[in-house]
Structures are given as C-alpha cells and as structure tokens.
Amino acid sequence: MKTILKTEHLNKTYRLGSFPRNVDIQALKDVNITIESDEPVIVSVVGESGSGKTTLAKVILRLVEPTAGKAIIYDQPIAGEGAKPARADFLSMVQPIFQNPFEAFSRYRTIDSYLYETATRVKRLNKARAIEAMEEVLSSVGLEYKDVRGKYPNQFSGGELQRISVARALIPNPNILVADEPVSMIDASRRMIIINLFRSLKQEYQTSILYITHDLATAYYISDYIVVMNKGSIVEFGKARQVLSDPQHAYTRLLLSSIPTLKQKWERVRND
Ligand SMILES: Nc1ncnc2c1ncn2[C@@H]1O[C@H](COP(=O)(O)OP(=O)(O)OP(=O)(O)O)[C@@H](O)[C@H]1O
C-alpha cells in the first residue's frame, strides 16, 4: 500500500512582532495523519476559520516551512525533516488549486499561455505535445481548447476559470491536488460542477485530492477520509462515513449539528 499522505508531529508556529513584544501563534499543534491506500483518495480537511486548515495545505504545498515534524506524500518526504524532491519533481507530484481563480491568472496574459507554460516547463513537453495535453485536460474539465485559446481571464466566469485552474493542475499528472476552499468564491449554482469534477478526476487521472473546506456538506459528499481540525489540532480523523455517522468528538458533533439535513441523513443511515 502507498502512503498517500502522512504527517508526523507536524507543528507550525507563526511569530508576530519582534522581541520582547512578539506573540506566537501555534497554527498546527502536533498534527499526525496517516492515509494508506492502493487507490487514490479524496481527503477533506474541515474546521472553522482559524483552525489551521490553510496552514496544513501550505505546508504540503511547501509554501510555508513547518516549525517541527514532517509531511510525506506518496511515500516521499516533501516538507520538514528528510530528503525533499527538487522543485520541478515536487510540482509533478503536488499541484495547488487556490480559492480565488481570478487571482490565479493575470488579466494581462492569455489563459492558454499559463497552460502552455506548465506543459512545457513542468511537464517538459514540446509544442505539439503541449497542445495535445492542453486539449486533453481542458476536455476533462468540460471545456474546449479552441474556446479558451487567445482569451483573457475576464472573458470567463469564476466557475469556468476554476475549471481551467484544475485543468492546468492536471497537466503534470500529479499524485495529489491540494484544493484550498476551491468553490467558496464561485457562484453557488456552479459549485457542484467543480465538486463533481473532483470525483470524476480522481478516477480518470488516478489523482488524490486534499480538499480544504469549512463546508461539511460538500466534504461529506466527496470524501473518502475526513480530518476535523480545531485550534490547530486534529480532533477527529477517519473514513468519512465513520466520522460523520458516529462522531466521537464534541466539536465534530457541533459541526454536524450546524447542518441539519446532513445530520438527519446520517441518523437515518445509522438507524438502517
Ligand atoms: N502568515 C501568518 N502569520 C501569522 N499568523 C498566521 C498566518 N497565517 C495564519 N495565521 C494564524 O494561524 C492560525 C491558523 O490559520 P489558518 O489560515 O491556517 O486557518 P484556517 O482554518 O485555514 O482558517 P480560514 O478558514 O479562515 O482560512 C490563525 O490563528 C491565523 O490567524
């Protein structure tokens, strides 16, 4: 079995201000997660604002260095203690999808230039193969290369731009996509397109997804595993069905109770 995601005693402390008036904020407190599987998985990290979800995503994306501990993706140490892959190799393993697709692309650059750059620089494809790759990933997210070519970000809706971000992230065929609140800036009516896309891409590209969200309902809908965070610590972790049908921690129960329909659904499942 592969170690899809493992964190060992992961800690991150942000220091604000300078001595003697500095304040330490412990964003991650001894975070230990182990997910082993032969199949790709969708792991949701849920919790209220400030619980440390984004910091966890940033450590895994190597955007912040942990204060202690380490993170392993697909059997390779990628952050903290241990050997780490070079940047180019890392980008072929782990790709980000950010919250705001409008910030992911400059309004002065055509959208296809971003995809082309990823195909030629990260995946190191020649021009003809890069165009083929762009056609393939765009079609996987329900778009056509001919409709994207030469256009600028402001010619797309937020939902379309986020699908293009996902397409771009797929070009290197990464082991894992790290998506931090990927639908929160998108029109409510279009959110499920992205969520359903994650489910289908997991199979089509054999890609695992780390889905960071405060939305337990979508987490429940797509996850194989759920990690519940509160104040920098993991308070509950396990298979999604198990965590949501039989929450052990008071905080998870509180989160669940804030979504009445979901709670009723799980109570029905439990009673069947
Ligand atoms: N760059 C930073 N410098 C200082 N403190 C930070 C920094 N980034 C995050 N924090 C603090 O670390 C804690 C965890 O923040 P983090 O953004 O990881 O949580 P979150 O669960 O993702 O919240 P949200 O859902 O609001 O994004 C918070 O107290 C936050 O204020």
ipTM reported for the complex, 2 dp: 0.96
Q: Where are the beta strands (DSSP E) in 131-175?
A: none
pLDDT-above-90 percentage for the chain: 72
Q: Check if the beta carbon of residue 72 is closer than 8 Å to that of residue 4.
A: no
- What order do you get walking across the sheet with 2-16 strand by strand? 23-37, 2-16, 68-73, 76-80
Q: Which pLDDT band, with edges at 50, 70 and 90, does 265 fall under?
A: low
CA–centroid distance, 81 to ligand 1, in Å, is: 23
Q: Are strands 225-230 and 94-97 parallel, antiparallel or unpaired?
A: unpaired
CA–centroid distance, 235 to ligand 1, in Å, is: 17
The residue whose CA is least distant from atom 12 of ligand 1 is 27
CA 41 to chain centre: 12
Mean pLDDT of the chain: 91
Q: Are strands 2-16 and 68-73 parallel, antiparallel or unpaired?
A: antiparallel
175, 185, 218, 163: which is closest to 46 by C-alpha?
218
Instruction: Using the predicted structure, report yes or no on whether residue 211 has a pLDDT greater than 90.
Output: yes
Q: Where are the beta strands (DSSP E) in the chain?
A: 2-16, 23-37, 42-46, 68-73, 76-80, 94-97, 176-180, 208-213, 225-230, 233-239
The per-residue pLDDT for 14 is 96
The per-residue pLDDT for 264 is 63
Instruction: Using the predicted structure, report yes or no on whether residue 266 has a pLDDT greater than 80.
Output: no
The stretch 93-99 carries a mean pLDDT of: 94
The stretch 115-128 carries a mean pLDDT of: 95
Q: Which pLDDT band, with edges at 50, 70 and 90, does 75 fall under?
A: very high
List beta partners, residue 97: 179
The minimum-distance atom of ligand 1 relative to the CA of 12 is: 12
Q: Check if the beta carbon of residue 106 is closer than 8 Å to that of residue 93.
A: no
Q: Which pLDDT band, with edges at 50, 70 and 90, does 272 fall under?
A: low
253, 246, 179, 254: which is closest to 218 by C-alpha?
179
The residue whose CA is least distant from atom 3 of ligand 1 is 14
CA–centroid distance, 99 to ligand 1, in Å, is: 15
Q: Check if the beta carbon of residue 209 is closer than 8 Å to that of residue 43.
A: yes
The stretch 196-206 carries a mean pLDDT of: 94
CA–centroid distance, 13 to ligand 1, in Å, is: 10
The per-residue pLDDT for 61 is 95
Homologous superfamily (CATH) for 2-271: P-loop containing nucleotide triphosphate hydrolases (3.40.50.300)
Ligand 1 binding pocket mutation candidate from 10, 11, 13, 14 (most atoms within 8 A of CB): 14
